[in-house]
Structure 1
């Protein structure tokens, strides 16, 4: 059975554009016509409490310093900016890789989770509830829970449990409870639905730890701010590496879009072209229409009756039928563009990077590289690619395909 998207009768209130791009969306949590907070009454108070706590924490130097210290000592930040020398020569561009694959736990997800876990401790919560697709957000959540002495419950689609068995083992070894979701498509969308339903019953003790720039306000803004470290670091690194200080193109894969949002935030005020790359079978920005799902108004794949259309991607982390509301806003303003690539192109990109640079990328990250490999970027351009995760988790799937 599909899941119904809510279509509001009235046009949503527009955000104050004076706040600037990728700034504070204000108390309504809106990015243009998208965003907002559409949750059951039982969660309205919890979302407001989280927003108040985040605003206070983000304005507190002690909180920011504690998070920065953890990102340095536990995650290994700053992550390197690696020149892809052989691939650059083949493509006729200067390609730089922002190496989130080298962050602890193997992806960018840990940046956001440590921030939310610190906030949970500050709020007196004892549990983290999360959803996961590829398992990287689940591993990061389990890692943070172990670090801070919290309980963690991670919901994961049964199909993803099977194709990401390594990450399921890692989560359980770290002490997290992994709950397979057997409804619907048995992927990320259904895991998110079940996790949010579970949160309703434990809201007084648990913090919902959202993995992407999705969900009800303040999550799209809060997650982007925790991931902004990617773009801020890359901006400083590019300034020291590039003659022009800013790359011509900034490219990242997009499912919900947290690694892209964090990267774009560092360059949105420059002349760099921002490009988000979606899976051909799950392209919310490209093929979605307005609706409300999981507490947020954005673009989602849906049929004429308002039912969620199933997404497909070779990468479990991109197997989601929508996109974060801020990405839709950036697209409508013409500040960022969103393109799609096929599964076959993604596999080719994984192999190409491995054999030219000795780096095995996650299938999610390889979407961004696949678009670059098409050769649409003018020769002589400089390109920053956020390599959001490493491919250890995908080895079994790749072994069957190659």
Structure 2
């Protein structure tokens, strides 16, 4: 018995099959080929279990299935490429707001902000909106609030005071020196605190002290990827902010008018001992119990190592002990602390003004652009009586 063979589909010039078609046509073709493929797969499954089906019939269906599957994959590849291309064009035309990923949207907006500032062109409203600012600051002069907050609150270079001191970002901030009061002043058991409040008042007013941070941006970085540009600039600015905080807080010879910001120039009581270990112990004991309970020690690692070397005297066990076990209070290491500072660091308070300005400058010799942020801040030691400075007794 002779049977007519089904006409087999031959996959000739598959690229031409999908070339020059619109995305809508490609979607229609995908649906059509998909339906045909599904139908052939069903027929093949039926023939495979039919004892009367010949091998020629099964092979013809297998070939038809392979042909349709190959056509489907080619059309799908063309479809996906065209869809991605059109989506990219759409996002390019629509700008930042068309980006769906929130993180990518912020990165693109920050990069646009930096490039606009350096190239001295206006920042679009989409940039401010993506960064959480309504763009009503006038003339696009102010750094968007979210960017300035991140720069001021998330430094790359670590400032150990970040984990100890109080940080706020409030314009014209005024706070009480102590967190609570009673109906009479006799509840303050520490006489030094009572005298300090009487002499300086019960509130602290924060001022506005200007500083600038410069982030150098080379032409290759400026024209590179948005992620690298944003990371480079933010890292530099955040590092500068942290360095400035440490500089004013631990300055031994602060600038005129900034003496109150320094632990060493603001009038904190000094406690001495014949060596640094005894001086620190004496300073802890000299604190009133209200402050001693939450006290921490900020000192250089070199000073701590010298104490351990003296105390150990050949005993290796001290080298593996925790600093708190040795000195009696948690220790935070900071190379800027030329003399150990002991106290309740919640009474150390940094406040930034909400507004920050950005501008640019160019070094014509190197071609490096400087992205500059101008910010205002103040560091107030709300209660000097909450701190002590440990020093070694000077011998005549």
TM-score range, shorter chain: under 0.3
Larger Rg: 2
Calculate the TM-score normalised by the size of structure 1. Answer: 0.22
